[in-house]
Chain A
């Protein structure tokens, strides 16, 4: 296995980690107006995110940093190519951060900050899938590897559909998380919404798979060549089934694990289909791959050592913090 492949996997792992962790933050944010109807409930929901959201967001930062370090040409092309869309995501993330931290300090503007939290969660939850859809389907690139389309080119039906898939997945993730961390009314609402989100996700995912066969056939090539990678969509579906069963049995933690598995499975499924490409171009000769868009072997090796040293530690103390704050948000001694 080459270093390039190892780094392809590591970047995907970071993105999957981000999807699973900040996924529930985003999901809760999107569901915020429906899960929490009064101030006490809103504070409880924000507190459920409180100790974790910042660390979760770091997965995006580190994923971005790893992308920059391992595949700088992909980082450059995608970030500049999707300029306005990425800036929208950025503003949304800033809005979300400020909303979460300041909502209960800046009490005069509670409603505004509630809206900010919602919008700051909705936009990224939708746009991440749109971004994935675009690099998977193929974007117009010029000879200088620069994006040759417009902002509106990015909002093609295929990418919008993938955006909705992502949104549904994040909503499900947020709903199951809310079930773990809250009780009473919020819990019940989350359970119901979770059920609906599950059906929406399944429907949208099937639709997206069908549509991919038409719009992005190249994604299936690896599956034909190397059937063993069907294990990823298998995991995805196992996750979905587990979630469904757990929702019906009020097993919040199991449901969350199932949802996380399906999210990770979705990332893996897409990654396996794209490998070794990271960005498809409308002219396949211009595809950005893990070979033509990567850093030098020395950099990849150095980065690997950094990852091996750092990531296990991160997982350890992240798990510790989740452990410290186990239990319902309403029962936390300190809150927003």
Chain B
């Protein structure tokens, strides 16, 4: 395999791995900020307990999130030096802004959350949690602004073979930044919501820690319901933006070969790139046109309008996209079921629902990965849509070196993920706060499991 392919696989692998941790951090930080807020306002020890518990899980998650993030910042330079030279005038600034405004904020204040509970006032604890939440969400904004610039470049001109900034605001707020940011943030809150409801459901099923499980489930449920429903709109809005700004990408993930009006929304198809058609199609007539244009007769550009070498791969995108949407709808349905149960006072007691919540924890993770696959593979063969091909952007490294690091990352990350799961499972299974909170807080071992961040 050549340097280009290996570098692409490595970047895909390392960013997919990073994104196993990021959404949970973004969402959970917000939940914890709310819990700390409630504790500050009410001084009810339940909120304190909840905040402490979920912060322990956040800590396990945060560590690998940070560690795997450095990999990505380095990789633009290590493996994509020609990309960095071409876009550095524009792409570097949001990354630096991410560091200055967001990384410092989250990484500094998390120290207070993890170690400083008893040294700062409840208000400062809330403030610290709020800063961590703000930092993670801001971080998402900046990196998505940069990544969106790759998709829909704006605010630049080409000078001397490089992209040169003409307007920072236009570059940052390019046509896809806001849709992609909102879509990703919603996905993060959904991930955190299902994580929290799932674990809370687990406790309720086991009849343990009900005092924190009930309010946790309710809080997370509100986020889950809100954002799974909102996501339908945000996803739709994002797809419309893709239709207008990256027509080849939309054509690929909709397996739309011909430019036509009244384009059907394909629910299933078997794309045949060699003959530039689908050998099988099952779809809703006119619905793709309707989704994109609000008019069932609207024209959708087909893949055949683009030269074959400028088309992204169709089958992976088509199926990944459909599956992502399916999973998203599934999550919304689960939340709607919960809403129905809440109206009947059974949100925290219907065991079938609780089981579904528990087993649904991984679903947002899968959906997110699929989404990233669609957006990044859908951008191929471009690394900057319409300006620079991925093939032109790679560093001239010996393939053997890249193979070495790729193998190293794979092994390393698999082991890390295993440790992560092990620690998460143990933290959740071992956690049991007895009836008397005050007594527990005096004891150095809060759980049956060895506890770090323990109160002495």
Residue among A78, A80, A321 making CB contact with B109, cutoff 8 Å: A321
Check A188 for interface membership: any CB of B closer than 8 A. no
Output the least CB separation between A82 and chain B (Å).
Answer: 8
- 29 pairs from A and B in contact (CB 8 Å cutoff): A54-B108, A58-B103, A60-B70, A61-B103, A62-B103, A64-B77, A70-B96, A72-B92, A77-B81, A79-B74, A94-B67, A97-B64, A102-B63, A295-B88, A296-B159, A296-B165, A298-B166, A299-B92, A302-B165, A306-B93, A306-B97, A310-B101, A310-B104, A317-B131, A321-B112, A334-B114, A334-B455, A335-B452, A336-B452
Check A245 for interface membership: any CB of B closer than 8 A. no
| Complex CA–CA separation, A93 to B72 (angstroms) | 13
Binary contact track A133-161/B, C-beta < 8 Å → 1, others 0: 00000000000111000010000000000
Output the least CB separation between B147 and chain A (Å).
Answer: 14
Contacting pair A318 B85 (CB below 8 A)? no
- In chain B, what residue has the closest Cβ to A96? B67
- Interface set, chain B 106-131, CB cutoff 8 A to A: 107-112, 114-120, 131
Residue among B91, B107, B115 making CB contact with A50, cutoff 8 Å: B115
Check A311 for interface membership: any CB of B closer than 8 A. yes
- Interface set, chain A 246-304, CB cutoff 8 A to B: 295-296, 298-299, 302-303
Contacting pair B88 A91 (CB below 8 A)? no
Residue among B76, B119, B412 making CB contact with A91, cutoff 8 Å: B412
Check B416 for interface membership: any CB of A closer than 8 A. yes
Known: A101-B59, A105-B427. A87 touches B408 (CB 8 A): yes
Binary contact track B53-88/A, C-beta < 8 Å → 1, others 0: 000000110111011111101101111011011011
Pair count A-B, CB < 8 A: 246
Task: Please count how many residues in chain B sit with their CB below 8 Å of the partner chain's CB atoms.
Answer: 77
Binary contact track A72-112/B, C-beta < 8 Å → 1, others 0: 11011111100110110011011001101110111100000
Contacting pair B74 A76 (CB below 8 A)? no
Report A-chain residues with C-beta under 8 Å of the C-beta of B69. Answer: 61
- If A64-B77, A98-B416 are given as contacts, then 13 extra A-B residue pairs at C-beta distance below 8 Å, sorted by A number, are A54-B110, A55-B111, A58-B104, A69-B92, A76-B82, A76-B88, A78-B77, A100-B63, A106-B423, A151-B401, A299-B90, A302-B165, A310-B97
Check B168 for interface membership: any CB of A closer than 8 A. yes
Report A-chain residues with C-beta under 8 Å of the C-beta of B159. Answer: 296
- Interface set, chain B 379-400, CB cutoff 8 A to A: 395-397
Output the least CB separation between A4 and chain B (Å).
Answer: 13
Contacting pair B168 A298 (CB below 8 A)? yes
Known: A65-B95, A72-B85. A55 touches B115 (CB 8 A): no
Contacting pair B119 A333 (CB below 8 A)? yes
Check A199 for interface membership: any CB of B closer than 8 A. no
Contacting pair A62 B104 (CB below 8 A)? yes
Contacting pair A57 B77 (CB below 8 A)? no
Check A231 for interface membership: any CB of B closer than 8 A. no
Output the least CB separation between B125 and chain A (Å).
Answer: 11
Report A-chain residues with C-beta under 8 Å of the C-beta of B95. Answer: 65, 68-69
Output the least CB separation between B92 and chain A (Å).
Answer: 3
Contacting pair A334 B115 (CB below 8 A)? yes
Report A-chain residues with C-beta under 8 Å of the C-beta of B68. Answer: 94
* SS class, residues of chain B in contact with chain A: helix
- In chain A, what residue has the closest Cβ to B168? A302
| Complex CA–CA separation, A245 to B452 (angstroms) | 38
Contacting pair A66 B111 (CB below 8 A)? no
Contacting pair B111 A61 (CB below 8 A)? no
Check B298 for interface membership: any CB of A closer than 8 A. no
Check B89 for interface membership: any CB of A closer than 8 A. yes
- In chain B, what residue has the closest Cβ to A315? B104
| Complex CA–CA separation, A291 to B304 (angstroms) | 45
Check B454 for interface membership: any CB of A closer than 8 A. yes
Contacting pair A76 B166 (CB below 8 A)? no
| Complex CA–CA separation, A30 to B423 (angstroms) | 26
- In chain A, what residue has the closest Cβ to B117? A334
Check B346 for interface membership: any CB of A closer than 8 A. no
Check B206 for interface membership: any CB of A closer than 8 A. no
Output the least CB separation between B380 and chain A (Å).
Answer: 21
Contacting pair B404 A84 (CB below 8 A)? yes
Q: Which residues of B contact A (CB under 8 A)?
A: 59-60, 62-64, 66-71, 73-74, 76-79, 81-82, 84-85, 87-93, 95-101, 103-105, 107-112, 114-120, 131, 159, 164-166, 168, 395-397, 401, 404-405, 408, 412, 416, 419, 422-423, 426-427, 450, 452-456
Contacting pair A332 B77 (CB below 8 A)? no
Contacting pair B99 A66 (CB below 8 A)? yes
Report B-chain residues with C-beta under 8 Å of the C-beta of A335. Answer: 115, 452-454, 456
Output the least CB separation between B143 and chain A (Å).
Answer: 11
Check A211 for interface membership: any CB of B closer than 8 A. no
Check A325 for interface membership: any CB of B closer than 8 A. yes
Binary contact track A40-53/B, C-beta < 8 Å → 1, others 0: 00000001001110
- In chain A, what residue has the closest Cβ to B99? A62
Report B-chain residues with C-beta under 8 Å of the C-beta of A68. Answer: 73, 76-77, 84, 88, 91-92, 95-96
Report B-chain residues with C-beta under 8 Å of the C-beta of A51. Answer: 111-112, 114-116
Output the least CB separation between A297 and chain B (Å).
Answer: 9
Report B-chain residues with C-beta under 8 Å of the C-beta of A332. Answer: 115
Report A-chain residues with C-beta under 8 Å of the C-beta of B104. Answer: 55, 58, 62, 310, 314, 317-318
Output the least CB separation between B354 and chain A (Å).
Answer: 27
Residue among B88, B112, B117, B450 making CB contact with A69, cutoff 8 Å: B88
Output the least CB separation between A43 and chain B (Å).
Answer: 9
Known: A62-B99, A75-B84, A333-B456. A105 touches B107 (CB 8 A): no
Contacting pair A58 B107 (CB below 8 A)? yes
Report A-chain residues with C-beta under 8 Å of the C-beta of B453. Answer: 334-336
Known: A75-B88, A334-B453, A334-B456. A317 touches B115 (CB 8 A): no
Report A-chain residues with C-beta under 8 Å of the C-beta of B456. Answer: 333-335
Contacting pair A144 B116 (CB below 8 A)? no
Output the least CB separation between B114 and chain A (Å).
Answer: 7
| Complex CA–CA separation, A100 to B452 (angstroms) | 11
Contacting pair B116 A334 (CB below 8 A)? yes
| Complex CA–CA separation, A54 to B63 (angstroms) | 9
Known: A55-B111, A299-B93. A65 touches B99 (CB 8 A): yes
Report B-chain residues with C-beta under 8 Å of the C-beta of A67. Answer: 92
| Complex CA–CA separation, A55 to B454 (angstroms) | 21
| Complex CA–CA separation, A67 to B93 (angstroms) | 10
Check A206 for interface membership: any CB of B closer than 8 A. no
| Complex CA–CA separation, A336 to B115 (angstroms) | 9
- In chain A, what residue has the closest Cβ to B119? A324
| Complex CA–CA separation, A310 to B105 (angstroms) | 10
